[in-house]
Structure 1
Amino acid sequence: MALQWMILTYVVAAEAALALLLTLPSPKLLKNHLVSLVSLILQPALFVVPFAGFQLLDIYWKNEHRLMCTSEICTASERDRYEKSIYKAQRNVVLCASACLLYWCIYRICKYYKEIQRLEEIEKKFKDL
């Protein structure tokens, strides 16, 4: 199970780096190539959304079937283990949500940039007339 979370962590880190690269100011030619490259990567990278959704379902199922350790019968180590698992689940929910949100942000950034390019081409055609 830890391998899935490591994969998701690396995907989120890569998405954050791409979002940062897309939003940094850069020369127009470099930005054009970067946006076209990221646009090509976006469709295969869509796997992150169902993968994160499955992980969220897994967290929900485990939360519903988790043994509660809130009474005085539990030992201190059992209570610590229970609290640690709750914190890990919360961290993983944030990780899944950020994976989906960053994917959407990258998609929208690329779409807006392509729309700006299209409008600039239309403007250039009208100026040439």
Structure 2
Amino acid sequence: MALQWMILTYIVAAEAAIAVLLTLPSPKVVKNRLVSLISLILQPALFIVPFAGFQLLDIYWKNEHRLMCTSEICTAAERDRYEKSIYKAQRNGVLCAASILLYWSMYRICKYHKEIQSLEEVEKRYKEQ
């Protein structure tokens, strides 16, 4: 199970780096090349959405079927283990949500940039006429 979360962590880090690259000011030629490259990567990278959704369902299922350790019968070690599992589930839930949100933001940034490019081309054609 830890391998899934490690992969998701790396994907979120890569998505965050790409989102920062897309939002940094840069020359128009560099920005156009970067956006076209990221747009090519976005199609195969769509697998992250169902993967993160499945992981969220897994977290939900485990939360619903987790043994509660809130009574006086539980030892301190059992209570610590229970609390640690709750914190891990919360962290993993935030990680899944971040991966989906970052993918969506990268998609929208690329789409807005392409729309701006097409509008600039239309404006250029009207100015030439």
Structure 1: 5+ residue stretches without partners? none
- 2: CA distance, partners of 1:71 / 1:109: 50
Tell me the distance in 1 between the aligned counterparts of 2:14 and 2:48.
12
Q: Deviations over 1:53-84 (max 9, x none)?
A: 00000001100110000001000000000000
Query: Deviations for 1:11-44, whole angstroms, at most 9, x for unmatched residues?
Result: 0000000000000000000000000000000000
Q: Are 1:114 and 2:75 matched, yes or no?
A: no
Please list every run of 5 or more consecutive structure 2 residues that lacks an aligned counterpart in the other structure: none
Give 2:39's aligned residue.
Answer: 39
Q: TM-score with structure 2 length normalisation?
A: 1.00
Q: Identical aligned pairs, as a percentage?
A: 83
Q: Say how many residue pairs are matched.
A: 129
Offset, 1:96: 0.2
Residues in 1 aligned to 2:113 and 2:77: alpha-carbon distance in whole angstroms? 53
Q: Equivalent residue for 1:89?
A: 89
Q: Alignment partner of 1:34: what SS?
A: helix
2:67 corresponds in structure 1 to 67
Report the TM-score, using the length of structure 1 for normalisation: 1.00
SS at match of 2:84: helix
Match of 2:51 in 1: 51
Residue number in structure 1 paired with 2:17: 17
- Structure 1 CA distance, aligned partners of 2:112 and 2:61? 38
